[in-house]
Structure formats: C-alpha cells, structure tokens
Structure 1
Amino acid sequence: MGQDSPLQGRRILVVEDDFFVAQSLCGLIEEAGAKIVGPIGWMDQALKYVESNSDAFDCAVLDVDLHGEKSYAIADWLAARGVRFVFTTGYGADALDPAYAGYPRCEKPFDPRLLFTALAPGAA
C-alpha cells in the first residue's frame, strides 16, 4: 500500500485494550505508511496522554470499550479540538451511545479499506 495510501506519513494514535487486536491494527496501519502512536489500553492513561501530547498525533483509532470503560471522554476531547478519530468495536452500531452515532465506526474484524478511508484527511 505504502506511497499511494491516504495514511502515508500520518501519525495515528491507537487506543485499544486487547493486545492481539492492537498488534494487528498497528501492523495494518504501519503497512499503510503511517506511524503508530501507542497503543494505549486504558481509559485514564489515554486521556492523560492526549491532554499532554496533543501535537504527537494527527488522528486516532478508539476502541469503544476499554476494560469496561467507554472511551467517550477521549472522543469528546478529540472532537473539541477537531482531531479526526474512528471508533472501533466488536459489536454492532448499538454498542455506541446514540450521542456518538454520527462519528465514523469500524467493526472488528477490520476491513482495512474502510478503516483507512475513515482516517484519511478530508474524509467525510
């Protein structure tokens, strides 16, 4: 994928609590030419990270459920600053609180094309 990928050169924060899913996701993103920031698997650690390192990443992938906590506080922080993000979940659309249903979402297992399109600069 590399050079013609919409993610080429992007810095993508990965917030995912499952080691194997995070490993797979990071591999997909790196193959697309992007740099991984993280992964971070805990809600409080991820929120502290974004608050103190806002210039370290261009966009983010957020697992909806992080060890039983919803990642909505991170999503709110990112959205307030215009940082593009995609929710990921192993469940359907019903897994998201209705207030967050308008944000991009990819279900696990990932379709790399959908994930990359959702993360690409200028994506709708």
Structure 2
Amino acid sequence: MTDRLTSNALGTQTLQGLRVLVMEDRSLIAAKVVEALHEVGCIPVGPAATLQAGLEFAQRPDVCIDVAVLDIDLRGSLVYPLAEMLRLRGVPLLFLTGYGTNAIPTTWSQVVRVEKPFESTTFIEALISIVSGEADQVSCTVPIGRPAVEGMEQGWDIIRHSRNMVMEARLLRAPHGTDKER
C-alpha cells in the first residue's frame, strides 16, 4: 500500500497553495517533508537546516510564511527563538522532531508534535489540524532554554544521532513514494 496523498483521502484541499517553512537539518527527512507538501499542493519555503537560516527567512519581507514545520534541534541549536518569532506573527507551528514530550519545555508542550520517524499521512493530518484550527496550541512570549538537564545533553545527542541514522536507513530502503519498509 502506498502512502501517496490525495486531496480526497485526507481533505488536503485546505492546504492548497499554503507556503510552508520547512526547518530540518537532515537532508533525507527534509526531502520527505518537501515531497509530502508538494503532493498536497503546498509551496515549501526552504528547507533550511540552521536556526540562523530560519531566522533570516522569517525576517525577509519578500518571503511569506503561512505555516511552519520545525525540527526542534537544528545542528545543535534549538528552534525556539524562531518558533517564538513566528508565533508572535500568528503563524501556526508544527514540531517535527525526535524529542519526546518530556524533553519539550512546558511552554511549548501544547504545540502539535509529529515524532520522527513519521508516516507522510500522519504528518499531513497534523498539518491539516493546525491549519484548520482543530488543534490547540499555546502561544509563547519568552525564549526557552535547553529542554534537557545539563548533565543529560550528551545522552540526548547520542539518542538524536541514533534516531537520525535509523530514519535515514528507513528512507533509503523505502520504495519511492512510500514509507513502508520492504
């Protein structure tokens, strides 16, 4: 069974033409996100792999962003300053991350989160829920620090690296257009 998306299957007509900022530092995962967005008629902005690049996108007057898909950890920098900037502008957010619920600061815990590895249909359903206003999200007004206790940072780095390697292996094994393993 294929994971190809159709506007009839998921009601993705609500996503047609939306400009979606994609913040992901793993190129294979970013490519999967962009492919899923194209399949439902979204216009990807990016992808960008660093916090600095995301902040630059958000500050450019010629770049319009309707919704944002943010990996929380971008090459060791947390995405919260960018998320805060976008929330203050009223841009709906979705975290696409390997971070579990307990690793996300309480202030950001209400933002819709899709865990990696992910199925494209799950990702698109979550995107539809935030665009349609069906998902509750908390608005933040202060930057948040590191989610993990200082002594645990090295452990989180090892876990993220392992998770990313598993995700990339799954993407490389999957036939084009599907998320299923062989």
TM-score, structure 1 normalization: 0.89
RMSD (Å) for aligned C-alpha atoms = 1.8
Please give the per-residue CA displacement for 1:60-110, whole angstroms capped at 9, x wherever unaligned. 100000001110001100111111110111131123122211111111122
1:41 matched to 2:49: yes
SS state of the match for residue 33, structure 1? coil
Distance 1:54 1:97, change over 3 A: farther
The letter for the 1-side match of 2:47 is P
> Mean Cα displacement is larger for which, 35-44 or 90-99?
90-99
Work out the CA distance in 2 between the residues paired with 1:113 and 1:55: 22
Trace 1:105-124 onto structure 2 (pairs within 5 A): 105-110=113-118, 111-124=122-135
- Higher helix proportion: 2
> Mean Cα displacement is larger for which, 70-79 or 93-102?
93-102
The letter for the 2-side match of 1:108 is K
CA contact (8 A) 1:106 1:114 kept: no
Which one has a bigger Cα radius of gyration?
2
Query: What is the Cα deviation at residue 123 of structure 1?
Result: 3.2
Work out the CA distance in 2 between the residues paired with 1:53 and 1:119: 24
CA contact (8 A) 2:21 2:45 kept: yes
User: How many residues are treated as equivalent by the alignment?
Assistant: 124
Work out the CA distance in 2 between the residues paired with 1:43 and 1:52: 14
Partner of 1:18: 26
Runs of 4 or more, structure 1, over 4 Å off, are none
The letter for the 1-side match of 2:23 is V
Partner of 1:88: 96
1:58 matched to 2:66: yes
Work out the CA distance in 1 between the residues paired with 2:76 and 2:95: 15
SS state of the match for residue 87, structure 1? strand
Work out the CA distance in 1 between the residues paired with 2:87 and 2:44: 20
SS state of the match for residue 23, structure 1? helix
